[in-house]
């Protein structure tokens, strides 16, 4: 056989995946603020809601990988529940092997990482669900798509976690403060300052990176001019 690269076909597939991912956005946007838009970069959440750019290739593929796997995995055991608690909307997926709360994640993190090394954003999300539902225990299943990278082959790990009232409330206080800051910026129609309300790793694949870098440069030049 002879093969030739077809970049227009790849672009069309990506575009269609992007359209699939947009389904459900309307409901999401109606719920202001949603747990996930407070946990992740507030600047990005603001742009996604009020001044969105199309998702870039890496974001589309990473997101579709997670959603696709989670839709297929454990389909008979999945339950979804959503609600609003003290002004913050949430939606969680249950695994009904137990009566308790459960969460399923897919990740490129190495399977060598234990629960204490899980992303802080996951822990914030879990603690928020515990607050909203009144639970204090949760099951967590993680599909490490690259296993432990030697060789890169998928591995599934499961954990049971228990949180104290103090941890749950401390996280909720943090969420309420993020809500206050975020809603204030939404009301004033002014994006939260770039690189201030995010984890460093969030910027590398972000569609708004050029916008944030440009704003940062402009602000630096203005402040140098003001001093000079
Ligand atoms: S580039 Fe970084 S600071 Fe800017 S929106 Fe993206 S994640 Fe947030």
* Domain assignment of residue 1, yes or no: no
Full residue range of the structural domain in which residue 192 is found = 15-227
Dist. CA 52 → ligand 1 center (Å): 13
* Domain assignment of residue 4, yes or no: no
Q: What is the pLDDT of residue 224?
A: 83
Confidence check: pLDDT of 142 > 80: yes
128 lines ligand 1 (CB under 6 A): no
How, if at all, do strands 155-162 and 78-85 pair?
A: unpaired
* Domain assignment of residue 168, yes or no: yes
SS (HEC) of the chain:
CCCCCCHHHHHHHHHHHHHHHHCCHHHHHHCCCEHHHHHCCHHHHHHHHHCCCCCCHHHHHHHHHHHHHHHHCCHHHEEEEEEEECCEEEEEEEECCCCCEEEEEEECCCCCCCHHHCCHHHHHHHHHHHHHHCCCEEEEEEEECCCCCCCCCCEEEEEEEECCHHHHHHHHHHHHHHHHHHHHHHHHCCCCCCCCCCCHHHHCCCCCHHHHHHHHHHHHHHHHHHHC
Q: What is the pLDDT of residues 144-153, one digit of tens each?
A: 888 888 888 8
209 lines ligand 1 (CB under 6 A): yes
User: Which residue's CA is the closest to the ligand 1 atom numbered 5?
Assistant: 44
Residues 34-46 have a mean pLDDT of 95
Number of structural domains, the chain? 1
Q: How far apart, in whole angstroms, are the C-alpha atoms of residue 71 and residue 224? A: 51
* Domain assignment of residue 72, yes or no: yes
Residues 42-68 have a mean pLDDT of 86
CATH of the domain at 24: 3.90.320
User: Which residue's CA is the closest to the ligand 1 atom numbered 3?
Assistant: 195
Residues 113-132 have a mean pLDDT of 90
pLDDT confidence band for 74 (50 / 70 / 90): low
């Amino acid at each position: 056989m002879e093969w030739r690269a077809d970049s227009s076909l790849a672009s069309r597939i990506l575009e269609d995946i992007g359209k699939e991912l947009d389904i459900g956005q309307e409901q999401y946007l109606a719920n202001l603020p949603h747990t996930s838009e407070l946990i992740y970069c507030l600047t990005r959440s603001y742009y996604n809601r009020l001044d969105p750019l199309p998702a870039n290739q890496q974001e589309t593929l990473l997101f579709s990988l997670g959603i696709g796997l989670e839709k297929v995995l454990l389909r008979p055991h999945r339950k979804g529940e959503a609600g609003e608690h003290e002004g913050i909307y949430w939606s969680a997926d249950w695994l009904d092997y137990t009566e308790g709360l459960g969460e399923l994640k897919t990740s490129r993190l190495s399977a060598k990482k234990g629960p204490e090394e899980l992303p802080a954003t996951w822990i914030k999300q879990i603690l928020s669900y515990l607050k909203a539902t009144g639970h204090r225990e949760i099951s967590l299943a993680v599909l490490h798509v690259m296993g432990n990278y030697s060789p890169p082959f998928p591995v599934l790990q499961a954990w049971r976690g228990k949180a104290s009232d103090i941890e749950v409330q401390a996280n909720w206080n943090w969420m309420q403060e993020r809500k206050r800051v975020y809603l204030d910026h939404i009301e004033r129609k002014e994006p939260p300052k770039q690189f201030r309300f995010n984890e460093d790793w969030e910027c590398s694949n972000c569609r708004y990176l050029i916008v944030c870098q440009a704003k940062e440069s402009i602000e630096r030049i203005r402040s140098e001019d003001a001093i000079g």
